[in-house]
Amino acid sequence: MNAPRRRRLIAPPRLRTLGDAEQERHASSLELFFDLVLVVAVAQLGEMLKADTSATGFLRYAALFVPVWWAWVGYALYADRFETDDVVYRLLTFSAMLALAAVAVTTPDALSDPGTSAGFAASYVAVRVILVGLYARAFRNEPLARPLAARYLTGFGIGATLWAVSLLVAPPARLALWGAAMLVELATPLLSAEAIRRVPFHRSHLPERMTLFTIIVLGETVLLAVTGVGEHLAATEAVIAAIGFLIAACLWWSYFELVDDAPLQRGYVAWQAFLYGHLAVFAGITATGVGVQLATSSASDSALDAGARWALCGGPAAFYLALGAMTLLTVAGRSLVTWSRLGAGVAALALAALATGVEPLVLEAVLLAVLVGQVAFETAQPPRSKK
């Protein structure tokens, strides 16, 4: 047996997506560890939505989902191009994970308690500053990536500065600065088309990162469905929880009919739609889990209240509408599957808006029928071309 390789203390970042872009590459164990920390924040967002399914509650859920998701995106994209796995990179990533854990802890009250919102902002500043530091390493050591790294250093640096300045003011001015910071950061990749073309993504690695995180979020949905069952298991609760699992299975089935490297082969617009569309995919899956849990705990009620109904049906609606839009923009041709996904999203949206006075079990069963029909239709279609 060969002696174990001694890990380098410092390995300068090198662009990993030019020479080996065509070779298969998988997520590293450090990336998987990072995902598990992020899912704690997603779980907290689900708990926050479960506690308040009013219109304001949904707005707070959506508003906080964006920075949590964007934190994951930032590190996923950096690792796709520049992951070195040296000691310095590991320590910086661990530091970011610790900061993200603090973000998760402060998420539920970030928009309602001034003290907690300051903790949320300070934690998020740390998350962004570490990422800026990583891009500074890349800028210094990889000449080919300097145009892109410079743009990201500027955009993400402005965003981190706005987050830091928000600590000096009280809400609602603090929240306004958060919004401005997110707009700057979200716009940075959109305004960096030419630099991104020079520094491509890895065709197998980035789609795999998306799929792995989707599986983790789906696991949270299943967990929420199971925990919705009380200590004394009644037949109706068990059936609703089981249907909730089948709904998650349908979301899994439809999602994995989509994700491959086609968006990365089709150009700038396709990969941007692929990337940003996952915000609605992840948020929709999480909301679905909340809806299933609320339906399970309300099994004996004559109907779900409006908030629970919107979580249960609105979550799949957001998922399928996003999936349909992603397919429309990332896959060659406009197939029947594209329109059927959009149609499934509209049908779920109609259930959320119109199915008042319907028993939880019946409503969930109708929703499942819509999703099973969509899955059956997709499965019957011939394989699509990636070109």
The predicted model gives 52-80 an average pLDDT of 94
Instruction: Check residue 13 and give its pLDDT.
Output: 78
| 270 shares a domain with 173 | no
Instruction: Check residue 208 and give its pLDDT.
Output: 83
Q: Is the model's pLDDT at 149 over the cut of 90?
A: yes
Number of structural domains found in the chain: 2
% of the chain residues with pLDDT over 90:
57
Residues 80 and 271: beta-carbon distance below 8 Å: no
Q: What does the pLDDT look like over 293-348, one tens digit per residue?
A: 999 888 888 889 999 999 999 999 999 999 988 888 776 555 788 899 999 999 99
Instruction: Check residue 384 and give its pLDDT.
Output: 57
CA 345 – CA 359 distance, rounded (Å): 21
The predicted model gives 89-109 an average pLDDT of 94
Does the N-terminal peptide bond of residue 360 adopt cis geometry, omega within 30 degrees of 0?
no
| 45 shares a domain with 193 | yes
| 164 shares a domain with 54 | yes
Amino acid present at 358: V
Domain that holds residue 363: 205-380
Which of 179, 198, 217 marks a domain boundary? 198
- Is residue 83 included in any domain, yes or no? yes
Q: Is the model's pLDDT at 359 over the cut of 90?
A: yes
| 155 shares a domain with 63 | yes
User: What is the value of pTM for the model shown?
Assistant: 0.89
Residue 93's contacts (CB-CB under 8 Å, 6 or more residues apart) are 30, 34, 75
The predicted model gives 272-280 an average pLDDT of 89
Residues 263 and 274: beta-carbon distance below 8 Å: yes
What is the pLDDT confidence band of residue 267, given thresholds at 50, 70 and 90?
Answer: low
CA 209 – CA 76 distance, rounded (Å): 7
Residue 188 structure tokens: 């940075």
- Is residue 11 included in any domain, yes or no? no
Ramachandran region, residue 52 (left: φ > 0; alpha: ψ -120 to 50; beta: rest)? beta
Q: What does the pLDDT look like over 151-208, one tens digit per residue?
A: 999 999 999 999 999 999 999 999 999 999 999 999 999 888 888 878 877 767 778 8
| 210 shares a domain with 163 | no
CA angle 306, 312, 314 (to 5 degrees): 80
CA 173 – CA 18 distance, rounded (Å): 44
* C-alpha 202 chain-centroid distance: 19
Q: Is the model's pLDDT at 229 over the cut of 80?
A: no
| 222 shares a domain with 183 | no
Residue with tokens 């950096």: 78
CB atoms within 10 A of CB 53: 24
Which of 147, 167, 198 marks a domain boundary? 198
In 3D space, the residue among 16, 14, 75, 17 whose CA is nearest the CA of residue 41 turns out to be 75
Q: Which residue has the higher pLDDT, 363 or 7?
A: 363
Distance set, CA 201 to CA 188, 223, 265 (Å): 16, 33, 10
